[in-house]
Every structure is written in C-alpha cells, then in structure tokens.
Amino acid sequence: MSQTERLPRKRTYLMCPPAHFTVEYAINPWMDTSVPVDAGLALKQWTLLRDTLTDLGHSVHVLDAQPGLPDMVYAANGAFSVDGTVYGARFRFPQRAAEAVAHEHFYADDWKYTHPVHVNEGEGDFAYLPEAYGGLILAGYGFRTEPAAHAEAQEVLGRPVISLRLVDPAYYHLDTALAALDDSRITYFPDAFSEQSRRVLAQLFPDAVLADRADAEAFGLNLVSDGRNVILNTEAVAMGAKVRAAGYQPVHVELSELKRGGGSVKCAVAELRP
C-alpha cells in the first residue's frame, strides 16, 4: 500500500474555540466533573490544531463560542453536509441542544439546510466517502444518534447510508471508532461495533486499516485526514505508525484538554462539503 502516492484534497472546515470549555456535566464515560480543565491550555492546543489545518492549505471557518455551551468546541456534532446540503443536528442531551441553533445560523446563507426530526449528532455519527461505491455515508447508532436519523439523512442527502451499531459506551460516537482516511478508504476499531456491523465493514472495506483497543483509547481514530495528511493527537503514537505504514503522513497535535470532554481532533473539526 505504501507504494501508492496519497494525494491531499483541499478542504473547508468549521471549528469553534474552547472559550467556554469546562467539564461540568458527564454525558460520556470520559468526562469527570471532579477534574478541572485548564482553559488556557485548551485554547492553546485548539489554536495549534487550527493553525496545523491552515498551514496544510485548508480553510477553517470559526464559529463564535457561546457561554453556557461548554461542549461547543466539539464542532463536528453540529451538522453533517454533503454536496451543499446540510442535515442539521438534534442533540441527545439537553445540555447541548442549543448548539444546533448556532450551527444552523452558520449555514443560513449559502447552504440548503434541513431540520432533523430525529436525534442525531452530525459528523460525530456520520462519515462521508465520496469515492466509495459512488458516494457512501457511514452512520453510527447505539448511544447518541437514532437509527431513524440514518433513514432521514439518506432522504435528505440522497446517498446510501450504511447503519453501524456501536456497542462500547467508551466509543459512543462513530468518529471515536472509525475515520475516513481518504475518499474511499477507512480505518476503524472493530470491537467498537456489533458482530454483524463488523461483518458489514469487512465486506465493504476489505482494504481498511484496522486499529486496536489501545489506538481507540488514545483517541487515535478521532482523526482528520485530507487524503494524505492525517491529523491525530500526540497520544496516538501507534496509530500514527499504522497510517504511515498505509502510505499516509501522520501529523500529531497535542489535544490533552479536549480528551477530558471525551473528544479529540475529529470532534473539534466539522468538514464542510459545499
């Protein structure tokens, strides 16, 4: 695989600074309200992630952080867009509900925005592979997004949606257990999925890069790739080696503070697909 030259494609992303980031409630197993967050460090790490993306030639839009929405830094959860159409988010927990509105405002002008009926957490549970089977959406359920939202997303976006059942509460969003490495190839941690979903993934993606539990625990699957450069956090050393062996260029960034909320690189970055 490493013989193939992996070509980057210019991307447009949306991020939201951790200006009001704290861990004041616990809605996933990583969140511990008794351990204080270093807000200054969180902002410094976030800024470095943003600069890493712009230095690679990508555009990054920034959404204003709002007081009272401490998880807003996880911008991936706010919506899911494919070819200029946006399928809006509807959060599982009331603490995050208002984030969907802030994202909707961002899309107001140039996008076709659809309000969801069903609970779904945007790119946290949806991934898009433009060159796999003519354009395929992978969707997770089991903890946050409702399976009914998968069918709804398919109707809104006009792309086949493959439903995958997540079974480990530590990997409560699809993007903690699976990532697109380029337009047709994925990496995933099999044990995060039900046996039958693992079978579906093996059938559709025989060339996937398989990650193990240690990679998932290090949030190594929570990566952003431009098709060549794979941005992942510094803890995910072994995952970096795996993507390098597959011909990609790992780019490590320190994101220790965001892990306190149960997220890393991908959670902080929504890809906009005009």
* Residues classed as catalytic: 173, 267
CA 236 from chain centre, in angstroms, equals 16
**Alpha-carbon span 150 to 155, nearest angstrom:** 9
The SS3 of residue 114 is strand
Complex with ligand ARG: residue 6 or 270, whichever CB lies closer: 270
Residue with tokens 């712009």: 54
Q: Is residue 235 part of the contact set for ligand ARG (CB under 6 A)?
A: no
Binding residue (CB under 6 A) for ligand ARG from 99, 152, 175, 215: 175
Q: Is residue 78 part of the contact set for ligand ARG (CB under 6 A)?
A: no
The count of residues interacting with ligand ARG (CB under 6 A) is: 16
Binding residue (CB under 6 A) for ligand ARG from 88, 140, 240, 261: 261
Tell me what percent of the chain is helix, strand and coil, each rounded to the nearest 5: 30, 20, 45
**Alpha-carbon span 253 to 76, nearest angstrom:** 17
Shortest Å distance, C-beta 3 to ligand ARG: 33
Q: Is residue 263 part of the contact set for ligand ARG (CB under 6 A)?
A: yes
Determine the interface stretch with ligand ARG among 14-22, 70-78, 229-237, 244-252 (rule: CB under 6 A): 70-78
**Alpha-carbon span 1 to 16, nearest angstrom:** 35
Q: What order of strands is seen across the sheet that includes strand 79-82?
A: 79-82, 85-88, 112-114
Binding residue (CB under 6 A) for ligand ARG from 45, 77, 81, 85: 77
Whole-number Cα distances in Å, 109 to 80, 88, 102, 113, 208 = 16, 15, 13, 9, 37
Complex with ligand ARG: residue 6 or 73, whichever CB lies closer: 73
Q: What does the per-residue mask of binding to ligand ARG show for 15-54, with x meaning CB under 6 A?
A: ------------xx--x-----------------------
Q: Is residue 162 part of the contact set for ligand ARG (CB under 6 A)?
A: no
* Secondary element (H or E) of residue 212: none
- Chain positions contacting ligand ARG, by CB under 6 A: 27-28, 31, 71, 74, 76-77, 96, 124, 173, 175-176, 261-263, 267
